[in-house]
Amino acid sequence: MGAICSSLAISHSSIAVSYLSSSSATSFLHCSPNSISNIIATLPTYRAGFSQTPLQVVGGRMMKPSSSSSPVSLGFSQSGETKEVQEEVVLKPFATSLSISPALLENLVYDALVWSSLNGLVVGDKSVKRSGTSPGVGMVHAPFALLPMPIQEGFWKQACELAPIFNELVDRVSLDGKFLQDSLSRTKKVDAFTSRLLGIHSKMLEINKKEVIRLGLHRSDYMLDAETSLLYQIELNTISSSFAGLGCLVSDLHRHLLNQHGKDLGLNPKRVPGNTAVRQFAEALAKAWNEYDNKRAVVMFVVQPEERNMYDQHWLSFLLKEIYGVNTIRKTLAEIDGEGQLLLDGSLAIGGQIVAVVYFRAGYSPNDYPSESEWNARLMMEQSTAIKCPSISYHLVGTKKIQQELAKPLVLERFLEDEDAAKLRKCFAGLWSLDDSEVVKTAIERPELFVLKPQREGGGNNIYGDDVKEMLLKLQHEKSKEQAAYILMQRIFPTASLSYLIREGICHQNNAISELGIYGAYLRNNDKVIMNDHCGYLMRTKDSSSNEGGVATGFAVLDSVYLT
Ligand code: ADP
Ligand code: MG
């Protein structure tokens, strides 16, 4: 156990937050984030797969030599026809360049698999029946990248610096009930799930329910656009931000591998920043529990009935107990409905135990509410005095529709000081509602440059490529109110590099792209901000041909970062 603890105890001393120079930031987004003509002017040349040009391993990834790249500009002609598209491979300038021999690769994979098994970098194995319900039964290593993904330190710092601002933004937006209700008013008419969430929110507004102690455990996800060299936010997760536990272990794994083999690889283990996500999340939960001020109360993890990612969650509950002496319980929404009770003083009791903090690792998807029982549970928790992570308001702030509303001109400025608003806006990609006929027209003509997103979380729900066109035409044809269920987003094209992705003990070589997640923790009691930090990171890497992301959904693998 000691070994496991120490592997998680690495501090993030190497991650000093500093201000990023905006000199590289020449994007259209600075002047007019939603201008479609600007977007077309700067949209990336599509980066196809690698050609026959020899590859080299750079910073642990195989890259196409820069001499082979052939940048061209791409845009719309006056007539709206597509200009000729040429391939371009945009490369990252890494100092280190090396090749991995088959023997070294075999060693690395073997060591990594042993390390994962010894250190709890595991998930339930889907081929074993009880692996999602019984801990210790049917475990397999979590899918991971063999070597960390290189990222320039400036982008890393920029993303870290944004986390406390996003934390504050979520808190402020959550207090504006009218903004949330108005922004989602049309969506709720066509999206039953959003409507139910909004219904609970309305009830809380009616009874004037105030959340005095507010806890947010968020993760803001980014992709680095190769063409513009800008970091763009993909989404902000305010509910069930997962992989703080296993993500930390992947950072430790990569450091371990570079400690063992770094000389052969020409890579320095110190360039993999320590990852404090799970420790800081545990700290935030413990501090919230402390604010609730009832030593006998517990932290309740709201979980899905079957959860193959349970060990990620168990890392958090384990640290809560080990470091802070806080007891946790795990309950499904149905169990909470069956065993839960609102006491006269408003506190939430589950089977006689008072709950100080409700931590949601379920409840973000319609599938989590198969019957009225689950909705009853959600409402009961919301009405209680327990600290909700997230509250219904925090949950709604994380919806894609609100992300799009916040990207409209001058909306951020309603909630943040101008300087902070400007920093966030820099990372906003183009986001539009389907009311914008000019953008919809462009998306029908060039669907590959957009992502069409419904109000869903958890991966596997977005629409890409020709399906964007088909869906938009269908919605247009039917003059459907259903348009309000979707938002359109500019598609981001990160640089692809050849990576080693390990799944079920087998090493695959893929052209891969990555998504960087930065965790943020926010805790507030009335006027006092107790915690507002960035806390660790999650890199996820996936085959560049895969549209979707998500580790649990099988698209991506866990990764860490190599600062260059
Ligand atoms: P979810 O709530 O399902 O995680 P996301 O908005 O994060 O929804 O989208 C899921 C995945 O789709 C992301 O992890 C990313 O891989 C891909 N994706 C989403 N938006 C974009 C985009 N604008 N450009 C490129 N890929 C995207
Ligand atoms: Mg996501």
* 283 annotated as ligand-binding: no
* 100 annotated as ligand-binding: no
Reply yes or no on whether the pLDDT at 554 is more than 90.
Answer: no
Nearest to 299 by CA among 321, 315, 270: 321
Per-residue pLDDT band for 479 (boundaries 50, 70, 90) equals confident
| Span 350-371, average pLDDT | 97
Q: Which residue is it, tokens 């496991």?
A: 4
Nearest CA to ligand 1 atom 15: 549
Q: What is the pLDDT of residue 3?
A: 34
Average pLDDT, the chain: 85
Active site residues: 219, 235, 237, 242, 400, 453, 457-458, 540
Residue of 548, 557, 558 best suited for mutating to test ligand 1, as the one with most atoms within 8 Å of CB: 548
* Residues with Cβ–ion distance below 5 A, ligand 2: 235
Give distance in angstroms: CA of 513 to centre of ligand 2.
14
| Span 53-62, average pLDDT | 35
C-alpha distances in angstroms, 247 versus 145, 240, 254, 298? Answer: 11, 14, 11, 25
Reply yes or no on whether the pLDDT at 62 is more than 80.
Answer: no
Contact 451 CB / ligand 1 (< 6 Å): yes
Give distance in angstroms: CA of 221 to centre of ligand 2.
7
Residue 334 to residue 557: CA distance in whole angstroms: 31
Reply yes or no on whether the pLDDT at 63 is more than 90.
Answer: no
Angle (CA) 127 254 164, round 5°: 95
Higher pLDDT, 61 or 350: 350
Contact 225 CB / ligand 1 (< 6 Å): no
Tens of pLDDT, residues 391-450:
999 999 999 999 999 999 999 999 999 999 999 999 999 999 999 999 999 999 999 999
Q: What is the pLDDT of residue 24?
A: 29
Provide the terminal-to-terminal Cα distance of the chain, rounded to the nearest Å: 33
Buried b / exposed e along 195-208 (16+ C-beta atoms within 10 A): ebbbebbeebeeee
546 CA closest ligand 1 atom index: 16
* 61 annotated as ligand-binding: no
* Packed helices 437-445 and 466-477: angle between N→C axes, nearest 10 degrees: 140
Tens of pLDDT, residues 19-50:
222 222 223 223 334 445 555 444 433 222 22
Higher pLDDT, 332 or 66: 332
For residue 540, the cross-strand partners are 515, 558
* 464 annotated as ligand-binding: yes
| Span 110-133, average pLDDT | 97
Tens of pLDDT, residues 509-539:
999 999 999 999 999 999 999 999 999 999 9
Nearest to 325 by CA among 271, 272, 289, 279: 289
Percent of the chain with pLDDT over 70: 83
Reply yes or no on whether the pLDDT at 15 is more than 90.
Answer: no
Q: What is the pLDDT of residue 480?
A: 77
SS3 347: coil
Reply yes or no on whether the pLDDT at 287 is more than 50.
Answer: yes
Residue 353 to residue 350: CA distance in whole angstroms: 5
Give distance in angstroms: CA of 235 to centre of ligand 2.
6
C-alpha distances in angstroms, 7 versus 107, 112, 248, 416? Answer: 21, 14, 9, 38
542 CA closest ligand 1 atom index: 16
Q: DSSP assignment, residue 543?
A: E
3-state DSSP of 412-425: HHHHCCHHHHHHHH
Cβ proximity of 68 and 89 under 8 Å? yes
Q: What is the pLDDT of residue 478?
A: 79
Buried b / exposed e along 504-540 (16+ C-beta atoms within 10 A): eeebeebbbbbbbbbbbbbbbbeeeebbbbbbbbbbb
Per-residue pLDDT band for 548 (boundaries 50, 70, 90) equals confident
Q: Give one DSSP letter per residue of 51-83, joined into a string.
A: -SS--EEETTEEE--GGG-------B-TTSPBP
Contact 492 CB / ligand 1 (< 6 Å): yes
* 240 annotated as ligand-binding: yes
Give distance in angstroms: CA of 346 to centre of ligand 1.
39
Nearest CA to ligand 1 atom 16: 549
| Span 83-109, average pLDDT | 58
Contact 491 CB / ligand 1 (< 6 Å): yes
Give distance in angstroms: CA of 11 to centre of ligand 1.
30
C-alpha distances in angstroms, 388 versus 296, 346, 372? Answer: 18, 14, 20
SS3 450: strand
> Dihedrals φ, ψ of 489, to 5°?
-130, 140
Residue 446 to residue 442: CA distance in whole angstroms: 6
Contact 515 CB / ligand 1 (< 6 Å): yes
Give distance in angstroms: CA of 27 to centre of ligand 1.
21
Contact 368 CB / ligand 1 (< 6 Å): no
Residue 221 to residue 258: CA distance in whole angstroms: 26
* 352 annotated as ligand-binding: no
Q: What is the pLDDT of residue 92?
A: 35
Contact 489 CB / ligand 1 (< 6 Å): yes
Reply yes or no on whether the pLDDT at 364 is more than 70.
Answer: yes
Residue 151 to residue 514: CA distance in whole angstroms: 10
Residue 330 to residue 358: CA distance in whole angstroms: 10
Reply yes or no on whether the pLDDT at 283 is more than 60.
Answer: yes
Per-residue pLDDT band for 552 (boundaries 50, 70, 90) equals confident
* Packed helices 418-425 and 153-174: angle between N→C axes, nearest 10 degrees: 120
This prediction has a pTM of 0.85
